[in-house]
Homo-oligomer: A and B are copies of this chain.
Amino acid sequence: MTRTQPPRRQLHPEEQARFEAFLRSRDLKCTDERKALLDAVFASKHHFDADSLHLALRQKGNEISRATVYRTLDLLVQCGLVRKQSLGDQHAHYEAVHGDEHHDHLICLNCDTVIEFFKPDLEAMQDSICLEFKFKPLHHNLQIFGICRACQAKGTEGLDLAHRVSQLHA
């Protein structure tokens, strides 16, 4: 197995292609930083924030600035490859969009675990509400804050839950 490998494998070809098409369509440039960031985003299985993405990139040896992280995330969101969400604290969270799937979130106020779920009935019901108000939906967001199963079992809840609820900002 000593076949020559290409110097840089394309890790997420489909998303890469979509991003490049988006960039071309706007006369933007496909830089190394942008490619590296796309890879890092699609390598992540879960939610992340700008800072942890920045850190992950640096740890992989990509000397990329925080400013570029923000600028590129913005592009990815506009291009539909990334979603930006608030999960109840003061900073933005992001997640890679795989295919067309949409899911909502259960967020544990005790251990910060985020459980994703998808319920078609729920989406249908939202559509019917929009119809009722003649509102054209573009995006939605449902978050349920509470205590996850594990934390209920541990019984460690309730330290300063009242305060966390008040700080939800969501």
* Chain A residues near B (Cβ < 8 Å): 74, 77-78, 84-86, 92, 106, 108-109, 115, 117, 119, 121-122, 125-126, 129-130, 133-149, 152, 161-163, 165-170
Whole-angstrom distance from the CB of A81 to the nearest CB of chain B? Answer: 11
Copies in the complex: 2
Known: A119-B125, A125-B125, A170-B85. A141 touches B142 (CB 8 A): yes
* Interface pairs (17), CB distance under 8 Å: A74-B166, A74-B167, A84-B170, A86-B86, A86-B170, A106-B130, A115-B133, A119-B125, A122-B129, A138-B145, A138-B146, A138-B147, A138-B161, A138-B165, A139-B144, A140-B144, A141-B168
In the complex, chain B residues whose CB is within 8 Å of the CB of A146: 130, 135-139
Q: A115-B133, A162-B78, A163-B78 are in contact. Are A139 and B168 (CB under 8 A)?
A: yes
Which residues of the other chain, B, contact A140 by a CB distance below 8 angstroms? 142-145
CA distance A50 to B84 in the complex (A): 24
B129–A137 CB distance below 8 A: no
A144 near B135 (CB under 8 angstroms)? Answer: yes
